[in-house]
Copies of this chain bind each other. A is one copy, B any other.
Amino acid sequence: MRMSIGYKGKVTSLEIVLDRNGSEPLYRQIAEQIRRAIVDGRLPVGVQLPTVRELATKVGVTRLTVQNAYAELQSGGWIESTVGRGTFVSARAAVRPRWSAANGAATPAGVIGDILQMGAGAGVLSFASAAPDPHLFPETEFWAAFESERQRLREASSYGPAQGDAWLRVELAAHLAERGLPATPEELLVVAGVTQGVMLAAQALARPGDSILVEQPAYVGFLHQLRTLGLQPVTVPVEKEGPRLDVVEQMARTHRIRFFYTVPTFQNPTGYCMSLSHRRQLLALAEQFDFSIIEDDLYGWLAYDEEPPIPLKALDRTERVLYVSSFSKTLAPGLRLGVLAPPPALRDRLLGLRIAADLGSPLLLQRALAAFLHRGEFRRHLRRILPVYRERRNALLAALARAMPPGVQWTKPQGGLCCWLTLPRPAPVGEIPRLALQQGWAVAPGSVFWTNPEGERNLRLCFGGLTVDQVRCGVEVVAQVVRQQLKLTAAPVSPEEWLPLV
């Protein structure tokens, strides 16, 4: 079907060809062809699309099919509808994804916004987001869990308790037990993802101006949170076994530390996993210098080689660990559901903060997740996805070994979704991500994971959302950009190399 669309005196044409026997739903075929027409400029910004009825008739599909296609395009920001006026190619469609970091005005919030939006951009594949692969989402099983709550939909339309649905907390307690963490439903708070859990914990523990310990490099989202809260970061380098304990001790001696934010298991961005003995020693330091620990165990379930050590919280004898985890890396970030297990004495304060923040999480999603956990679907789901991510991790490490120029180093994550590259010398901030993006690849700039970046010495490569072939292909592109940058910033002959032997 070909139809002509008039626009500013010009006539543009839209051709839609449907494969009615294909596995791709018709609405998606329509959406994809319109999207491509927008990307390659055949449908310019501002052009009015046919009405649903009109397109349905011309293409020979139901109106619902066209409605769904338009809805998909709308939600991707490609088109916009105004009631009574019609549907138009959106101005946002012309905005190709770009890194805020590239223009020198990077803020963590900007970068996080970029990462969240990268996926929606035209023709971009992404190493940037530490998100699970949506193709691995257990659609059928999750929908079944949802449907089992259909008959209680009315009840779920109400406010639930701010602490979280009682049933979900029962399931969460059982879930945490599998991670080696004994907890009762009463002590748990359902939270809107680890992000909210960490935010509430930080608010409960510290006031603006207080000093807190943070790993370097660290999750960019937390760096944004600590700036938002006006906290003073005191940094601790993280290494293969965990954060440098000598630095923790030294900093705790010289600063009044309120808490230490750590991702002990498969850290973001490095992928490092803190050893058991390191965990014990860190807890001993926390006791000695009386600081709390916010333990972010977001990646704890994604172990590819062997079981990781039990959480710090499980080793905590003095009620100083606030444990946070969620389903964003294992199941679906779109659920925005996680769990916070604080020391009992802090529970009511945290509940008060949650009530001030948003009153609680959507009951319907909480119940769907409870049903999903209750049916054992989460365990089955994990068994399905772990081999897939393991294979992608292996493909990434092999491809890096093949393609990266000498001097570039990277971590060998035993779990999680992040791999951390270190260049032999820094490139200008934002250049590598910008150049990679020009070739259709999003990579998170390493600079945003440092409190005080000095050039772009690192890149975070997240392999979760890419197939093995995509991983290989993407590493080639990134390696080429890295090689090019290293040439431009060729190592100056450093004075040391010229020192005469005396």
**Cβ of A356: which chain B residues have Cβ within 8 Å of it?**
109, 195, 199, 221, 224-225, 228-229
CB of A150 within 8 Å of the partner chain: yes
Q: Is the CB of B335 within 8 A of A167?
A: no
| Chain B CB within 10 A, most for which of A143, A153, A158, A348 | A158
Tell me which of B148, B336, B359 contacts A359 (CB under 8 A): B336
Q: Is the CB of B170 within 8 A of A74?
A: yes
Q: Is the CB of B153 within 8 A of A139?
A: yes
Number of copies: 2
Q: How many residues of A contact B (CB 8 A)?
A: 94
Q: Is the CB of B177 within 8 A of A221?
A: no
Taken together as a complex, chains A and B put the C-alpha atoms of A228 and B208 apart, in Å, by 13
Q: Is the CB of A355 within 8 A of B139?
A: no
CB of A166 within 8 Å of the partner chain: yes
User: Which stretch in A110-118, A247-255, A266-274 binds the other chain?
Assistant: A110-118
**Cβ of A83: which chain B residues have Cβ within 8 Å of it?**
174, 177
Q: Is the CB of A170 within 8 A of B80?
A: yes
Q: Is the CB of B158 within 8 A of A199?
A: no
Taken together as a complex, chains A and B put the C-alpha atoms of A320 and B176 apart, in Å, by 46
**Cβ of A185: which chain B residues have Cβ within 8 Å of it?**
80
**Cβ of A337: which chain B residues have Cβ within 8 Å of it?**
362
Q: Is the CB of A157 within 8 A of B129?
A: no
Report A62-90 residues with CB < 8 Å from chain B CB.
68, 71-72, 74-77, 80-83, 90
User: Which stretch in A9-17, A130-138, A301-309, A442-450 binds the other chain?
Assistant: A130-138
Q: Is the CB of B154 within 8 A of A358?
A: no
**Cβ of A75: which chain B residues have Cβ within 8 Å of it?**
152, 155, 165-168, 367, 370
Sample 7 A-B pairs with CB under 8 A, ordered by A number.
A109-B352, A113-B162, A139-B153, A228-B352, A228-B356, A229-B356, A335-B364
Residues of A in contact with B (beta carbons under 8 Å apart): 25, 27, 68, 71-72, 74-77, 80-83, 90, 92, 107, 109, 112-113, 116-117, 119-120, 129, 131, 134-135, 137, 139, 142-143, 146, 148, 150-162, 165-168, 170, 173-174, 177, 185-186, 192-193, 195-196, 199, 208, 221, 224-225, 228-229, 328, 331-337, 348, 351-353, 355-365, 367, 370-371, 374
